[in-house]
Amino acid sequence: MFIRVLIFSLFSLSLSHVSPANAQPDLTITTGKTVADTGAPGYRFTRLQFTRHDAKHDTQKAYRVNLAIPEAPAPEEGYPLLIMLDGNAALMEVSADLLSELSQSAAPPVLAFLAHDNDLRIDGDARAYDYTPAVNESAFSAKEQRPGREYGGADGYLSFITGKVIPAISDNTPVNPEKTGLWGHSYGGIFVLHALFTRPDSFAFYAPVDPSLWWGEGYILSEEHDLLTESPADIKDKSLLVLTGFGGEAKRRPRGDRDAATLAAVYKARESVPAGETARMVERLKAAGVDAEMTTLQGLSHGETLGASLPYVFRQFAR
């Protein structure tokens, strides 16, 4: 297995939106002005709006895509397309210099910053529902994260992305259907793996960043097991780039303001996945024929890996 360690003084990144290593993200931060407003050499921006019906709650949900399109003419087969979950947060971490550099690459991609249609950097409740698989809640303590928060909407969200978002982007600009990718951080990383393990033909390139493998007491690993047991050929030749923090798996301590029973459930979930399991997962997938790589963003916390991953993912995807 190929595991790479990066010392991130290589990239001059702004990490002003992240918290210290063991802190929870500030869910009140808003996007403010981004490169989508100020512009970048080599790229132009447009915005697409979407709604989708959530059958479970019988409600309409609104989303936005800030679409970064290369100014260079599209190749005959269309541009590569990278879908970015937590699109507001990702957009806040992208600089004009990074996009200018990306525009000069061999295959500059269209970047689709997909977000819930508000100005929050992170919409915690909405992403918890959209990014996590449906499981038997009696089997684990998912709701420990926040009372009243719902989980389990990933299948519907994946169908929305593949059935509505990508076709709308393709109507707006030429896209190569053979070179599409999906990036996500934390719960978004779980969503990326869920897509790979349950509907691998959805994308060609998968980039989960510090995925929360512990969620659902390791539920995503059961999806991996089922895939490798029942239909391993389905993922052969897919590309997987896993990025993690610290020494391979960034750790977060749960908030200390919760009652003893909730904290016990948190620790149970966090300890349900052995240390080093991310690397072992990558090794298993590589043995099954996946073009898999794991990269450590050395010295960075869970929150810091979101922004720090972007230059590396962009460069790998645009090769």
Write out pLDDT tens, residues 129-150. 999 999 876 545 554 556 678 9
pLDDT for 72 equals 97
Task: Report which DSSP code applies to 248.
Answer: S
Query: Mean pLDDT across the stretch 297-315?
Result: 95
User: Cβ(180)–Cβ(204) under 8 Å?
Assistant: yes
pLDDT for 185 equals 98
pTM for the full predicted model: 0.89
pLDDT for 262 equals 62
pLDDT for 27 equals 78
Fold for the domain defined by 3-317? Rossmann fold (3.40.50)
pLDDT for 121 equals 97
Q: Above pLDDT 70, what percent of the chain? A: 81
pLDDT for 22 equals 42
DSSP string, 107-175: SPPEEEEEEESSSBS--HHHHHHHHS----GGGS-GGGGSTT-----HHHHHHHIIIIIHHHHHHHS-E
Tell me the longest C-alpha to C-alpha distance in the chain.
Answer: 59
The helix/strand/coil state of 79 is: strand
Residue that is written with structure tokens 């800030």 in the block: 66
At CA 49, angle to CA 48 and CA 53, rounded to 5? 140
Mean pLDDT taken over the chain: 87
CA distance 39 to 143: 40
Q: Provide the pLDDT confidence category of residue 83 given band limits of 50, 70 and 90.
A: very high
Strands, E assignment, the chain: 3-7, 43-54, 59-70, 79-84, 110-116, 175-185, 205-209, 239-245, 291-298
Q: Provide the pLDDT confidence category of residue 273 given band limits of 50, 70 and 90.
A: confident
Residue that is written with structure tokens 């997909």 in the block: 114
Lowest mean pLDDT among 53-57, 70-74, 186-190, 286-290: 53-57
The helix/strand/coil state of 238 is: coil
pLDDT for 232 equals 95
User: Cβ(199)–Cβ(238) under 8 Å?
Assistant: no
At CA 190, angle to CA 91 and CA 57, rounded to 5? 85
Query: Mean pLDDT across the stretch 182-208?
Result: 98
Is the model's pLDDT at 207 over the cut of 60?
Answer: yes
Query: Mean pLDDT across the stretch 159-166?
Result: 98
pLDDT for 222 equals 96
Amino acid at 6: L
pLDDT for 263 equals 64
The residues, ordered by sequence, that sit 6+ positions from 16 with a Cβ below 8 Å of its Cβ are none
Query: Mean pLDDT across the stretch 57-66?
Result: 95
Query: Mean pLDDT across the stretch 147-163?
Result: 92
pLDDT for 217 equals 87
